[in-house]
A and B are shown apart, each in its own frame.
Chain A
Amino acid sequence: DTAVSQTPKYLVTQMGNDKSIKCEQNLGHDTMYWYKQDSKKFLKIMFSYNNKELIINETVPNRFSPKSPDKAHLNLHINSLELGDSAVYFCASSQDRQNTQYFGPGTRLTVL
């Protein structure tokens, strides 16, 4: 059983397109996150939701919009994709805001 799953695993698209990445966790956790890992492997938080409520919204272009339909799902929609959006995007979840975060397998986004 996969604890935190993401789809798709790979995403190759053209500049200007709109794409979505989906994340689901079956751990019963209350908090979910989106992270971006750039080409230098630096991992940085983008968003966090706790019980479907947005609690962390880092300095991220508003082309990125997270949506949490329920506690177990957190999706990331990206409008008007740019070359600089190419990265690996990780979803994570935790029981609460101070505990261990468990990461999904990642989605490698390539914008051409």
Chain B
Amino acid sequence: QKEVEQNSGPLSVPEGAIASLNCTYSDRGSQSFFWYRQYSGKSPELIMSIYSNGDKEDGRFTAQLNKASQYVSLLIRDSQPSDSATYLCAVIGYNQGGKLIFGQGTELSVKP
């Protein structure tokens, strides 16, 4: 079982739709959860961080965390073509010294 698993995609949504990205993780003691966006040829940039169960909203982005189900998701409302990128889910496990474990990424394509 992979430590952090994402739907590999690609995920294609029309402009203005909601994009839903999902991630599961295996370390039940994980405490810190992140979504990064990576454009082709660029470095990962932070979209959202979430540390406790529930929803966290920032503009068009909402991160959802369910520790009991070991599940974290990212919703992008009113998707724009500029949102087309690879989205990386990342988790810091319990007592892992800050080791950020990434999923394989989900490629999102927003069609005009």
By a beta-carbon cutoff of 8 Å, the part of chain A in contact with chain B is 31, 33, 40-45, 48, 50, 55-56, 58, 90, 92, 94, 96-106
- What number of residue pairs across chains A and B have CB atoms under 8 A from each other? 59
In the bound assembly, the distance between CA atoms of A104 and B45 in angstroms comes to: 9
> Using a Cβ–Cβ cut-off of 8 Å, how many residues does chain B contribute to the interface with A?
22
Closest chain B CB from A98 CB (angstroms): 5
Q: In the complex the two chains form, is A55's CB within 8 Å of B97's CB?
A: yes
14 A-B pairs with C-beta separation under 8 A: A31-B98, A40-B104, A42-B104, A45-B100, A48-B98, A90-B43, A97-B92, A98-B92, A99-B32, A100-B34, A100-B46, A101-B100, A105-B43, A106-B43
In the bound assembly, the distance between CA atoms of A97 and B102 in angstroms comes to: 15
Q: In the complex the two chains form, is A104's CB within 8 Å of B43's CB?
A: yes
Q: In the complex the two chains form, is A45's CB within 8 Å of B92's CB?
A: no
In the bound assembly, the distance between CA atoms of A48 and B92 in angstroms comes to: 13
By a beta-carbon cutoff of 8 Å, the part of chain B in contact with chain A is 31-32, 34, 36, 38, 42-46, 49, 86, 88, 92, 97-102, 104-105
Q: Which of B45, B88, B97 contacts A43 (CB 8 A)?
A: B88
Chain B residues, CB < 8 A from A41: 38, 86, 104-105
Chain A residues, CB < 8 A from B105: 41-42
In the bound assembly, the distance between CA atoms of A58 and B46 in angstroms comes to: 23
Chain A residues, CB < 8 A from B43: 90, 103-106
In the bound assembly, the distance between CA atoms of A103 and B32 in angstroms comes to: 17
Given contacts A100-B34, A103-B43, contact A94 B98 (CB under 8 A): yes
Closest chain A CB from B19 CB (angstroms): 19
